Structures are given as C-alpha cells and as structure tokens.
A = this chain, B = another copy of it.
Amino acid sequence: MTRLSELGESAVLRRLLAHRRAGSHEVVGPGDDAAVTKITGDLVSTADMLVEGEDFTRDWLDWSRLGVKAAAQNLADVCAMGAAPHGLLVSLAVPDSTEVEDLEALFAGIVTEAERAGRELGYAVPIIGGDLSSSGLIVTAITALGTVSAEEGAFTRSGARPGDGIWLAGTLGRAAAGLDLLFAGARPEDDLPEGLASLIATQLAPQPDYAAMTHRPVASAMIDVSDGLSTDLGRIADASGVHAEIDRAALDELVAPLRPAARYVLAARAAADANPTDDAVEALALHWVLDGGEDHGFVASSPVSAADPVGWRRIGEMQAGSGVGLDGAPVPTSGFSHFGK
C-alpha cells in the first residue's frame, strides 16, 4: 500500500485517470484548464456532496461503495428531470495519509456506477473532469450534467394534477433500514440474518433503477426519493398545488422485506433480550418506507392510467388539496435536513 504523500499529485492523478473512459462527445479531456464536450438540447445540472462524519463514518467506510453512492445520488437527480446524463465532474478531497489504492477504489466506484447507468440507459456516461485536493476529512463533491430536448423539456415537480396516478420505480426504505442496522452495530461482514447485508449494501451503495427511465410513464411530475417518500412526494404536492394520497396496500411489497431488519434493530436497541412486538416491527418497517431516503427510487405522477409501465408500480393518486396522506391519514413530511432541523 502506498500513501498519496509518497506519490504526489501528478502520479496520483495518472493512477485515477487510468480508470476513466473518454466519452464519445469529448472534444478536450482532462489535463487542460477545463473540459470541452459536444452537447445537444437544454443543459441539466446538479451537484451533491458526501462529507465524512456527516454522511458516513470511518467505522463503516467502504471506499468503492462510497464512490458508487456519490455517483448514484447525482445521476438519480439528473434522471429525475427526465434528462439523459451527459457526464460527471468529480471533486475529491482526502487526507495525505490516504492509501492510493483506497482513492483509486473511490474513483473506480464512481466510474462503475456511471457505467452502470450508461448500460441501463443505452449510452456511455463519462467522467469529464474534476479536482483532487488534500483535506483533513474525506469529501466527495460531484456535479452531474445532463440534457433534455428543448421541445420536450424537463420533468419538474410542479406539473402534477388531481387524478394523476403516482408511480414508483425502484425501492424505498432499504437504505434507511441499512443505516439503522449500521447504527445498531451490524456490519456487512458480520454473520447477519438473511437479507440484512443487502440492506446495508443499499445504504452504502444505492443502485437507482436507471433502466426504468427507458420506459417511464408520461410524467406530469417526477422526483428522486433522496429524503424520504413523505418529504419528496410532499415537495411535488407543494410545487403542484395538489394532495398526494398514498395507498398503504401498494407499499406492502416494500414493507414486508424490511421486517427482519426492523426486528434486529429494535432488539439491538432494547435493554437485555427484550422481544420487540409485531406492532413495533411493523411501525419501524413502514417508517423506513415512508420516511427513509437514499434508495433513490423515482416517483412520477402521470395522467395516463394504462397498465403499470415495466419497472413501475402504482402507489397512489394525486387529489385536490395539499400535503401527503396514507389511506386518508395525514403523513408528516419528516425528511432529512442538514444543520440539525
């Protein structure tokens, strides 16, 4: 193992860039003041950071999966606009004492996820630029770029209308369950009850269902669920001036697989060997599905009430009114917020 401080910036950069494949639209690649790429349509852009101590800790750091997560959360935002990813700019700050193999794993994780998105969508999603810095904390700061045709435009949050169906692609609650498992002391390498390791994997390296974008419903609004269904559906409801009513029964298939994890977490939290009640297990599993972010499932509203598009399930309906409901009961929007509120 070799520390970055033994190699210096140029050598480290060469090691990282060896993992990169150039996009076919690349005119000027890394190594100049800026990259130049051919682009068609309107530009879609978004940026997201992951910060050590805030979004992950050294206790459960997996460099490769951190790269996957950093790329996934940005690519999901681009896809949630109905846009085609154009490429990523990757800024990484890590301590001098970092081993170059770990930094390479981080970068390769980003490349891997961008390439997975590209495979699912049918074209390459390259890393087109970025920056590398020394830092006391590990920070990833990624900008994802994409394009939409100027005629079709982007899918924003404000187009939902009463009567539209609500569809979900991907999963909900798995990453939140994984996070509570990590907080409860579970680790991927432990001998865990079946299925729990894969929930932790979703927390560490979410896998948005980019393929669903290739057969998405004709959407009036769309969002990626990064802060929880309740919060993100609430954002659509607010922006569109509608009420989003969730059908509890439609969530069953999402809640059921989380029960073993809920039982594990509640038992770990309880004093001695107290046995969690079925009601408590059910409540926690439902809480993860309703309020947990970071799976990066896609939620779309659509006026088209045909059969569910492949990869999408109908989970509710937009109605006149405001806020979010679950079988008639109001759902508080309780998603994640930085700075302790």
CB distance from A329 to the nearest CB of B (A): 24
Q: Is the Cβ of B27 less than 8 Å from the Cβ of A37?
A: no
In the bound complex, what is the Cα–Cα distance between A87 and B78 (angstroms)? Answer: 17
A48-90 interface bits toward B, Cβ cutoff 8 Å, 1 = contact, 0 = none: 1101111100000000000000000000111011010011011
Is A172 interfacial (CB-CB < 8 Å)?
Answer: no
Our pick among B78, B90, B339 for the contact of A4 (Cβ within 8 Å) is B339
Of the listed stretches A140-148, A306-314, A318-326, name the one at the interface; the rest are far from the partner chain.
A140-148
Residues on B with C-beta less than 8 A from A47 are: 89-91, 129-131, 141, 143
Residues on B with C-beta less than 8 A from A141 are: 47, 49, 91, 93, 131, 139, 141
- Which of A32, A55, A76, A83 gathers most chain B CB within 10 Å? A32
Q: Is the Cβ of B224 less than 8 Å from the Cβ of A156?
A: no
Q: Which of A110-159 contact B (CB under 8 A)?
A: 128-137, 139, 141, 143-146, 148, 150, 153-154, 156-157
CB distance from A276 to the nearest CB of B (A): 31
CB distance from A190 to the nearest CB of B (A): 28
Our pick among B7, B31, B133, B338 for the contact of A49 (Cβ within 8 Å) is B133
Q: Which of A8-23 contact B (CB under 8 A)?
A: 8-12
In the bound complex, what is the Cα–Cα distance between A7 and B338 (angstroms)? Answer: 10
Q: Is the Cβ of A143 less than 8 Å from the Cβ of B143?
A: yes
Q: Is the Cβ of A341 less than 8 Å from the Cβ of B157?
A: no
- Which of A91, A146, A148 gathers most chain B CB within 10 Å? A91
Is A334 interfacial (CB-CB < 8 Å)?
Answer: no
Our pick among B5, B35, B83 for the contact of A34 (Cβ within 8 Å) is B83
Q: Is the Cβ of A34 less than 8 Å from the Cβ of B139?
A: no
In the bound complex, what is the Cα–Cα distance between A5 and B51 (angstroms)? Answer: 17
Q: Is the Cβ of A96 less than 8 Å from the Cβ of B42?
A: no
Name A130's closest neighbour in chain B (CB-CB).
B47
Binding site for B on A (CB under 8 A): 4-5, 7-12, 27-28, 31-39, 42-49, 51-55, 76-78, 80-81, 83, 86-87, 89-91, 93, 96, 128-137, 139, 141, 143-146, 148, 150, 153-154, 156-157, 222-224, 239, 337-341
